[in-house]
Amino acid sequence: MQPIIRTENLDLYYEQFHALKNVNLDIPEKAATAFIGPSGCGKSTLLRTLNRMNDQIAGTRIEGLVSLAGDDIYDKNMEVESLRKRVGMVFQQPNPFPKSIYENVAYGPRLKGIRGKKELDEIVEESLKQAALWDEVKDLQKHSAFGLSGGQQQRLCIARALAVKPDVLLMDESTSALDPISTAKIEELIREIKHRYTIVMVTHNMHQAARVSDKTVFFLNGEVVEAAETKTLFSTPEDSRTEDYISGRFG
Ligand SMILES: Nc1ncnc2c1ncn2[C@@H]1O[C@H](COP(=O)(O)OP(=O)(O)OP(=O)(O)O)[C@@H](O)[C@H]1O
């Protein structure tokens, strides 16, 4: 698996607090990578470094390198707006815009300068199909996004993120606020799209990591304890701390 994202000797501090410690990680392209570990181990912090969402948190300091397809994303010439088009994000709580279903998905492509109705219609349809929502909303596109269920809203947010054709989709516990059926739908769609996009997901649910990811990274206290192919990590972990965690002895 070819890496698309690489971190080298990455350290992150919140003021004096050392939240990520010497993280060296390769994220494979067009595959799903899951970050697992107990609460507070740094999973979301690392996820946010991958599209510079941490820039918005005062007192954050970074050392080391994060590269995307060979580009240093913390380089002074890197435009954060264009980085975020390449690296989209879906959060824990669905956060659709207070607009119609159609306008939620068309928003990003419009910002990119796409104006033609036919082209926008096609992008909206394709994105909603990729997010496994099209069949449910194709006749409701002018309706408010707020009329959808939580699970549908989350799939709409995934469609919105995919509409700008990102290279990478970051998912920060994107199913933890959803019921089991909605969760299963999103897991299914991750399995469908991971061959086309690079997915990096934070999950509290080890079973979810085992079900949908190709690579799993186990964190503890801001450090990567073990990163391996998912099957290997869950069947024959190398580190006894990984084994203790996946067998439920802590966390
Ligand atoms: N904005 C912040 N300012 C200061 N400390 C923070 C901030 N965000 C996170 N931290 C601290 O950094 C550490 C890592 O937090 P992070 O949210 O990345 O962990 P996590 O593994 O994603 O946890 P969880 O699974 O509970 O979401 C924690 O000790 C947390 O308290």
Residue 2 in this model has a pLDDT that exceeds 90: no
Confidence of residue 250 (pLDDT cuts 50, 70, 90): confident
Across the range 33-50, mean pLDDT stands at 97
Q: Is the pTM of this model over 0.90?
A: yes
What are the pLDDT digits (tens) for 99-152?
Answer: 999 999 999 999 989 999 999 999 999 999 999 999 999 999 999 999 999 999
Of ligand 1's listed atoms, the one at least distance from the Cα of 44 is 22
Confidence of residue 1 (pLDDT cuts 50, 70, 90): confident
Confidence of residue 48 (pLDDT cuts 50, 70, 90): very high
Domain 3-247, classified CATH 3.40.50.300, yes or no: yes
Instruction: Name 46's Cβ contacts closer than 8 Å, sequence gap at least 6.
Output: 7, 10, 12, 20, 23, 25, 35, 219
Compute the distance from residue 99 Cα to the ligand 1 centre, in Å: 32
- Ligand 1 pocket residues where CB is under 6 Å: 14, 17, 19, 37, 39-45, 57, 202, 204
Q: Quick one: pLDDT at residue 84?
A: 93
What are the pLDDT digits (tens) for 9-36?
Answer: 999 999 999 999 999 999 999 999 999 9
- In whole angstroms, what is the distance from residue 162 CA to residue 131 CA? 8
Across the range 239-248, mean pLDDT stands at 94
Compute the distance from residue 251 Cα to the ligand 1 centre, in Å: 15
**Which residue's alpha carbon is at the smallest distance from atom 1 of ligand 1?**
57
Residue of higher predicted confidence among 114 and 249: 114
Mutation test residue for ligand 1: of 44, 49, 50, 61, the one with most atoms within 8 Å of CB: 44
Of ligand 1's listed atoms, the one at least distance from the Cα of 47 is 18
**Which residue's alpha carbon is at the smallest distance from atom 31 of ligand 1?**
40
Compute the distance from residue 195 Cα to the ligand 1 centre, in Å: 30
Across the range 3-14, mean pLDDT stands at 97
Across the range 68-96, mean pLDDT stands at 95
**Which residue's alpha carbon is at the smallest distance from atom 30 of ligand 1?**
40
Of ligand 1's listed atoms, the one at least distance from the Cα of 204 is 25
Rounded to 5 degrees, what angle do the CA atoms 178, 150, 169 make?
75
- Closest C-alpha to 36, from 226, 175, 186, 169: 226
Residue 201 in this model has a pLDDT that exceeds 80: yes
Residue 251 in this model has a pLDDT that exceeds 80: no
Q: What is the mean pLDDT of the chain?
A: 96
Mutation test residue for ligand 1: of 10, 17, 48, 55, the one with most atoms within 8 Å of CB: 17
Query: Do the strands 215-220 and 32-36 form a parallel or antiparallel pair, or are they unpaired?
Result: parallel
Compute the distance from residue 171 Cα to the ligand 1 centre, in Å: 16
Query: Do the strands 215-220 and 223-229 form a parallel or antiparallel pair, or are they unpaired?
Result: antiparallel
